[in-house]
Amino acid sequence: MRLETERLVLRVPRLEDAPALLDFVGDPEVMRRIGSEPGGLPVATEHVERWIMRWETNGIGPYVVVLKSSGQVLGRVGLLVWNARTWETSSLAEAGDDATVELGWALGRAHWGAGYATEAARTVRESAYETQRLERLISLIDPENARSVRVAVKLGAEPTETVRTPGGLATIWVHPR
């Protein structure tokens, strides 16, 4: 799977992406926003392995976001399956009727504010609705994460309820088709 925007290439992750994600996984602020601890190459490798596993398990997952002009890896944008009964990450098969698909984004801090998350998320959303035939697509956002809230608003998503996830409270933002 590969998607492109005017400025970005979105592709399925590969193990060799881990070194390019060191700024991403090493930044406490970035990792706090996605409910993870910062670290070095082992943490980057764990993240990439988890992303690859999600693709293999569900046929959907996070894309690595690459800047076309330089080939630099900016972070990840893509889909994650949740069990809406427990608000824990899951697989489509395990969650069954309680499966809910989230559109999520996380970029290295150096790339915040340039519109990359919105650009990538819009493209992933369009592809997901078209190819996956999803009924509903959400984003779970910490109410205090003003930057992600701005991305959701730019995407035309609407806030609904607040739920408790393993990472804390999150507002459910429902995306338009």
Q: Where are the domains of the chain?
A: 2-174
Average pLDDT of span 73-79: 97
Q: What is the pLDDT of residue 133?
A: 84
35 pLDDT more than 80: no
* CA 62/CA 84 separation, integer angstroms: 19
- Tens digits of residue pLDDT in 108-158: 999 999 999 999 999 999 999 999 888 899 999 999 999 999 999 999 999
Residues 6+ apart with CB under 8 A from 58: 79, 81, 91, 92
Q: Which CATH number fits domain 2-174: 3.40.630.30, 1.20.58.1910, 3.20.20.220, 3.40.50.300?
A: 3.40.630.30
pTM of the predicted model, to two decimals? 0.94
CA-wise closest residue to 70 among 28, 126, 110: 110
* CA 67/CA 133 separation, integer angstroms: 28
Give one word for 23, left, alpha or beta, with left for phi > 0 and alpha for psi -120 to 50: alpha
Distances (CA, A) of 81 to 55, 91, 122: 11, 6, 18
Residues 6+ apart with CB under 8 A from 147: 112, 113
